[in-house]
Amino acid sequence: MNAAKEDITEPCELSFDRPADDTLLVRLKGSWTIEQKLPDVGEVQSQVKSNAGVKQIAFDTRELTGWDSGLLSFLIKIINQYANGNIAVQKEGLPEGVRKLIDLAFAVPERKGARKEAVREPLVARIGASAIGAGQSSIDTLDFIGGAFLAFLKFLVGKARFQRSELMLTIQQCGVQALPIVSLISILVGLILAFIGAVQLMMFGAQIYVADLVSIAMVRVMGAVMVGIIMAGRTGAAFAAQLGTMQVNEEIDALQTLGISPMEFLVLPRMLALVMMMPLLCIYADLMGILGGFIVGVGMLDISSTQYINQVIKALNLYHFFIGLFHAVVFGVLVALAGCLRGIQCGRSASAVGQATTSAVVTGIVTIVVATAIITIVANILGI
């Protein structure tokens, strides 16, 4: 509003007059803009109250030098105040632009029932609602898992529709491109395990068993768990964000209306890629972890390198190796499911994509830890 900015220095003033017995004349002076400290509507109200017999409020704006939303909001408050009383608000004295905007503001009446009531549900109702929500979400999850399984069956008989190039791209993204971070984390985990073990084993002069400790721990479980957690944070989050954004852009709807199942086209290649890459990454992580232990063993515990390698070979057997691979495959399924599920369930806004990504990582890591516990207990019972 141009005029408003010309006389910014002049403060706004409010004064009152009684030109006739039944009229309260409100004088507005100076610049009424939102940069100013505007007077309170209460002043008008107290004038009306203290002057009995006022039947109408009129305005004098001849000395008004500028206005913007500040004045409008002041006037609209006055009008709303006396909307259904017996005091009329005369708008004739207001500038033409102000009158038009006030008319515009009241042109579309507030839609009945549009305003949201802040209703606070009782505790029991909230518990019930979240129980029903949890039930529904587990049904959705089962539905998704079923859909993913059906898509996989279709893939086995060669009928699933998806793009090979997308599969290859996903394999590259969650395979080769994950190698640097997997190397770093696995070597460090190997180092850490070796250090922790060495402190205890040195008390018995049994440093050589650091090789057993690190290699069995890495191969049997830690390699797979570390890769699983890296992939949950890296690839699971990427899946959720990608599919979530596709949901926001209606790309998934576009696939569905073409009769292409998003399960086959989007979820299947991602699941396949991750399930194929996880065991490979796991084997790589195992080697890197053993290398980490080797560095500590040879560099700090005075074990010769041949001795260390021989000890590792003696310690490991194929059971450890296959249990480790089994972990990796399970984690691949879990991380891919979590990422795709949260992506497909995503709402249609930027914040929903954020929630989907967070939820994918959390779900991925929690299910990885739970699955590790279950597999470890079962392996223990079976004695392998």
Which residues of this chain interact with another protein, rule CB under 8 A? 1-5, 33-35, 37-38, 64-70, 72-73, 76-77, 95-98, 100-101, 104-111, 114-116, 347-352
Q: Smallest gap, in angstroms, from Cβ of residue 33 to another protein? A: 8
User: Which C-beta is closer to another protein: that of 34 or that of 373?
Assistant: 34
C-beta separation of 326 from 375 below 8 A? yes
Q: Report the C-alpha gap between 150 and 139 in whole angstroms.
A: 16
Q: Smallest gap, in angstroms, from Cβ of residue 37 to another protein? A: 8
Query: Which residue in 69, 55, 5 sits closest to 25, CA to CA?
Result: 55
User: Can you give the three-state secondary structure of 59-113, one letter per residue?
Assistant: EECCCEEEECHHHHHHHHHHHHHCCCCCCEECCCCCCHHHHHHHHHHHHCCCCCC
The DSSP bridge pattern shows strands 23-32 and 13-17 to be: antiparallel
Sign, CA dihedral 251-256-258-260, equals positive
| Residue showing tokens 């017995």 | 21
Q: Smallest gap, in angstroms, from Cβ of residue 104 to another protein? A: 6
Write out the two tokens for 124: 């029991």
Q: Smallest gap, in angstroms, from Cβ of residue 115 to another protein? A: 4
User: Which C-beta is closer to another protein: that of 70 or that of 324?
Assistant: 70
User: Which C-beta is closer to another protein: that of 41 or that of 87?
Assistant: 41
Query: Which residue in 340, 325, 326 sits closest to 170, CA to CA?
Result: 340
The DSSP bridge pattern shows strands 23-32 and 64-67 to be: parallel
User: Which C-beta is closer to another protein: that of 21 or that of 110?
Assistant: 110
Q: Smallest gap, in angstroms, from Cβ of residue 313 to another protein? A: 56
User: Which C-beta is closer to another protein: that of 55 or that of 348?
Assistant: 348
Q: Smallest gap, in angstroms, from Cβ of residue 118 to another protein? A: 8
User: Which C-beta is closer to another protein: that of 63 or that of 143?
Assistant: 63
C-beta separation of 359 from 239 below 8 A? no
Question: Cα 67 from chain centroid?
Answer: 42
User: Which C-beta is closer to another protein: that of 254 or that of 370?
Assistant: 254
User: Which C-beta is closer to another protein: that of 95 or that of 315?
Assistant: 95
Q: Smallest gap, in angstroms, from Cβ of residue 331 to another protein? A: 32
Write out the two tokens for 159: 């009928």
Q: Smallest gap, in angstroms, from Cβ of residue 23 to another protein? A: 24
Write out the two tokens for 233: 């944070």
Q: Smallest gap, in angstroms, from Cβ of residue 340 to another protein? A: 22
Contacts of residue 47, defined as CB under 8 A and 6 or more positions apart, other chains included, come to 16, 24, 54
Beta strands in the chain (DSSP E): 13-17, 23-32, 56-60, 64-67, 88-89
User: Which C-beta is closer to another protein: that of 38 or that of 309?
Assistant: 38
Amino acid identity at 372: T
Query: Which residue in 66, 78, 73 sits closest to 30, CA to CA?
Result: 66
Backbone angles phi, psi at 56, to 5 degrees: -150, 155
